[in-house]
């Protein structure tokens, strides 16, 4: 993981074998980020994406092991109980299929280029019993 900071923005480069969610979580702690938006592109060959069912309050997860372009990473970095919290969704395409959803794991097969826009606020999350998710606490 390499990054460059400039005026509230961070350019992050992940290399082959690095995992997106754990890398972002590490960066939140290292740079003491309290709130930020995230966007990115790259290449992967191993993802776990999920879709949340609000009726059952359960994520259905799907692991995909094939060469894919990361068409889009989009999400935010916040805190829950003071700890780093990464919430990122993604769209991925192989030559024949498109996948997407909440990213649980995304391993880089070539590179990832991620832009982080730091917001000068503290944003926490708290669990909402009715919805079944950790929602923003504003």
Nearest to 77 by CA among 67, 69, 66, 88: 88
DSSP 3-state of 29: helix
C-alpha 109/C-alpha 11 separation (Å) is 19
Supply the pLDDT for residue 126: 95
**Per-residue pLDDT tens over the stretch 66-98:** 999 999 999 999 999 999 999 999 999 999 999
Number of domains in the chain: 1
Q: Quote the domain boundaries for residue 87.
A: 2-137
DSSP 3-state of 28: helix
Supply the pLDDT for residue 39: 98
Residue 22 belongs to a domain with what CATH number?
3.30.1330.80
Whole-angstrom CA distances from 89 to 5, 8, 74, 106 are: 23, 22, 5, 10
What is the C-alpha end-to-end distance of the chain, expressed in Å? 31
């Amino acid at each position: 993981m390499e990054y460059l900071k400039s005026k509230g923005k961070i350019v992050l480069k992940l290399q082959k074998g690095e995992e997106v969610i754990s890398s972002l979580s590490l960066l939140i702690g290292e740079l003491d980020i309290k709130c930020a938006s995230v966007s990115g592109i790259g290449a992967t060959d191993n993802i776990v994406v999920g879709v949340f069912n609000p009726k059952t309050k359960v994520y259905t997860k799907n692991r995909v092991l094939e060469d894919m372009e990361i068409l889009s990473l989009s999400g935010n970095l916040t805190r829950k109980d003071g700890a780093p919290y990464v919430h990122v969704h993604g769209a991925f395409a192989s030559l024949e299929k498109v996948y997407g959803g909440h990213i649980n794991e995304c391993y880089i097969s070539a590179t990832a280029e991620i832009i982080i826009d730091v917001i000068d606020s503290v944003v926490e999350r708290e669990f909402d019993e009715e919805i079944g998710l950790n929602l923003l606490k504003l």
